[in-house]
Chain A
Amino acid sequence: MKILTEPEVKKLLMKYGIPVTRESIANSPVEAYAIASQIGTPVAMKISSPDISHKSDVGGVVLNVGAHEARTTYDRIISQIKKAAPLARIEGILVQQMAPQGHELIIGLKKDAQFGHALMFGIGGIFVEVYKDVSFRVVPIEKTEALDMISQIRGYPILKGIRGRKPANIEAIANVLVSVSQMAEKENIIELDINPLIVNETGAIAVDARAMIEE
């Protein structure tokens, strides 16, 4: 069993054609500045550590960072983590393209002893367990089934666009679901979360993701 770092998971997602936010690991304040300038600001900066799974809980996430703030933010996150999780191994700071505005969704996988893998779709964010507005399928699924599972959640009307808002790109979500369904067995996934997958009228993009795989 192996826990992948966020960049490793993103690489995996890209392999299956799932759009991910541009990003790179910085190992120094200067590198953070360089990466931020290259990606284009503002950026998100997140701690990268195999020992920290819920980054925002320990102050490991800072959003909307401008290029000239990247250096100080780097130092600030490192010292914050050293206080909050002194034993955590630090691999650097992930400097990431700021996620676009849109709906925060979750797509996940869980290996199941009976049926192979379960695929989950629903309303994402940090309150997933509270809202529990999700639907499940056993993989593999095809696109019609993906569309079906999207339409099954209570929040579906929100995605369709209510109160004059533009509808989310449902096709793009379905494509991600089908791709995730395909990777389940091939990549020996034990558990995977893409959360959030940000979706707006133009498309879907995986902003954060975590995975545990069988080696």
Chain B
Amino acid sequence: MLSSIFEPESVAVIGASNNEIKWGGRILKNLLSGFQGKIYPVNPKEPIVQGLDSYPSVLDIPGTVEMAVVVVPYAIVHSIVEECGKKKVKGLVVITAGFSEAGNESGEIELVSIARKYGMAMIGPNTLGIVNERARLNASIIGRLPRPGYISFITQSGSLGLALAEWTIGTELGLCKVISTGNKAQTDDVDFIEYLSNDPSTGVIAMYIEGIKRGRKFLDAARNISKPIVAIKTGRSSRGAKAVFSHTGSIAGSDEVYSAAFNQAGILRVDTIDELFDAALAFSCQPLPRGNNVAIFSNGGGASIVAADECEKQGINITDLTEETREKIRKVIPEFASFSNPIDTAGTVSFKIYNDSIKALHDDPNVDAIIVIYVHTMISNAMPPAEAVVEMKQKCDREKGKKPIIACWMGGLGTEEGVDLLKSGCIPNYPVPERAVKALSALIKHSEFLEKVKIRKAN
């Protein structure tokens, strides 16, 4: 059971070290910095490790051990895992490397068979660990616990994934679970998706994928989960070098097939790391739109045109506003401004302009989602419009028929306060309009996919 790994009552670190530069030392330190359950270092050479009594073997630990992090040399890893089985450990995170990633398939098969024999769930081997922020559990080499949030991140690359997880700490992204999959010897993406599907604290799954182990099962798991999955699948350039028999064979490289399969399973495939987390951020704090009709509101014409162009590219409709909405907006913006969609206040900025306009857009039945743009100038202040957005969002969230609001505060220097306010108000904010539109596009695509599934089920 993966819950024994992510929500254990007790954790042993086998190969724990006093040296915090060593992985066994780093992971123990990370566990100690937040996890409230029992922690047992195992190290036959040291009586005390990082201030805790250390045990020569996991079998010497007096209490029960629910989960073990295995950070030992390859030569002894099989016997250590065997001991874990005898100790009735339920979950393993095997950091030790030297298995299939190094061409050693047999060593990996043996490891899996030991874990199976004792009914243990195992992540890895060759993983850089896992994090469950909700349990303050950092059984990984990430330096700190991430900010709390609803994004769970599954990564096949240990180093890249964990670097990204650390990078999120400085952003508005909040993570819930981080899983470095390692070699996926016993548990793989299918198990992780199924686990996260039932995990109440996960709202969206972000994945970095190099390859899938069980293709069909993976698609089934993805299809059956209503939570959004956003994924990067690398290796786009690789193509079968086989002699070409058919046109189909020549065009259908593995990448095209991956894209098709992901599409059918409702997985949103993105091209860049930016897009991965931009979409994940929007999913983690905004409702899904009911349709494809967006309203763009901006104090600068250029920015709203950039946003409108990107909408066009993404197939998002710049909707016609009702006469009532146009009238409401006309009242608060200058005479010479544009009160049809995209709305441009012609440079004027105030709390009232943003507040009243967003309220009007939110009430408009033609509008499914709102993109709010603020372009910083020397004569405007980034705070009042941010306050208006956050306040409106809170008001709207209490009402029925929530609509996503995506922000784009442009200008950097001088906008920090406003940006921070948006962050704390759970408004996804992006530095350029294209990124805001792409994030919204992800919400729309997922909404459309769920609708399609609903129709299929009804038939």
Contacts and interface: CB of A to CB of B under 8 A. Distances in A.
B203 to A, nearest CB: 27
Contacts of A135: 260
A114 B254 contact: yes
Contacts of A23: none
B246 A138 contact: no
B215 A132 contact: no
Contacts of A190: 245
B219 A138 contact: yes
Interface stretch (A25-33, A85-93, A162-170, A191-199): A191-199
Contact of B216 (A3, A115, A118, A193): A115
Given A110-B252, A118-B256, A193 B261 contact: no
Contacts of B246: 108, 110, 191-193, 210, 212
Nearest to A152: B263
Contacts of A212: 245-246
Contacts of B258: 114-115
Given A114-B212, A115-B219, A108 B248 contact: yes
A112 B247 contact: no
A104 to B, nearest CB: 12
Contacts, number: 82
A136 B245 contact: no
A110 B260 contact: no
A145 interface: yes
Secondary structure dominating the interface of B: helix
A106 B250 CA distance: 13
Interface string A111-122: 011111010100
B431 to A, nearest CB: 32
Given A138-B219, A145-B264, A115 B248 contact: no
B216 A116 contact: yes
Contact of B257 (A128, A138, A195, A210): A138
Given A110-B252, A136-B259, 7 more contacts: A53-B245, A113-B215, A114-B215, A118-B248, A137-B264, A144-B456, A193-B248
17 contacts: A106-B248, A109-B248, A112-B252, A116-B215, A116-B216, A129-B251, A134-B251, A136-B252, A136-B259, A137-B260, A138-B261, A138-B264, A144-B456, A191-B249, A192-B248, A195-B247, A212-B246
Interface of B: 211-212, 215-216, 219, 245-252, 254, 256-261, 264, 456
